[in-house]
Amino acid sequence: MKRRLLAIVLLITFTIIPIYWKAYASLDAIPLKQFKSSELDSHLKDIANRETLNQLIYLPPGDFSKEDAANMIRHVSNIPPHILHVLVQQNVHLYLFNGNLTDVEGFEHLHGVKPRGYSNQGSNWEDVPGIGGSKLVLAKIGHSNKGLGHGSINLELHELAHSIDRYVLGNIRYNQTFLKAWKSEVSSLFPNRNYFYTFPEEYFAETFAMYYLNDVSRFELAKHAPHTFLFYQNMEKLPVTKNLISNSH
């Protein structure tokens, strides 16, 4: 029994832990808290949830648009503090990067691979500006808006929502309340967009982005998908647990 326990400990020590550190400790990135830039600080003056964002967000070394990065950080700051706090507790990080996604350490294996749901003529991962769902979320600086290599209303909120779905809300995309809203409202909100018809997790990520981006996108969500809108209202009111809003309507 003791030998088996020792073997398990050694397995974790020499396999899982190195993989974890490959994603974080050796990543060529700088935590927002340690990033020294008067220009960036001026753009982030009086931003909400700064202390939590300092732990959540990483920035690249070298030159990049501080204004674009600050805008992305401000979008993330719209997310309720209790959700951001759980992200940090779960060791989820958002890396705002430059260059190609497949040049980021830990994502090289995606080079030449097409993302799920993309056509044969669609982009490969090296040309895609973001990826979410793991503990390291990537969003390319300057590519927030729809049409800049992606079809989401907001890149950073959409990709971060995938990890919120998994690590904060306990795979909320499988929640029956959410699935009911998705099935009844996806055609109204996203007509002729099969991607959202097929994958409820993509519907969650995109509607999450709509809810937290700005008042205009939130109004569009409420207008075309009122039950989904109510879902997010309830999510803000209740404690974050894996059984979140299971009986919200």
Phi–psi pair at 108, nearest 5 degrees? -60, -30
- Measured at the CA of 157, the angle between CA 208 and CA 192, to 5 degrees, comes to 60
Report the DSSP pairing between strands 30-31 and 136-140. Answer: unpaired
Options 156, 159, 185, 201, the catalytic residue: 159
User: For the chain, percent helix, then strand, then coil, each to nearest 5?
Assistant: 55, 10, 35
Q: Is 159 annotated as catalytic?
A: yes
Q: Which own/partner contact pairs does 50-55 have at CB distance under 8 Å and 24+ positions apart?
A: 50/77, 52/81, 52/84, 52/85, 52/88, 53/77, 53/84, 55/31, 55/88
Which of 188, 193, 191, 139 shows the shortest CA–CA distance to 162?
139
Which of 168, 166, 185, 167 shows the shortest CA–CA distance to 177?
185
Phi–psi pair at 58, nearest 5 degrees? -120, 150
**Active site positions, annotated:** 159
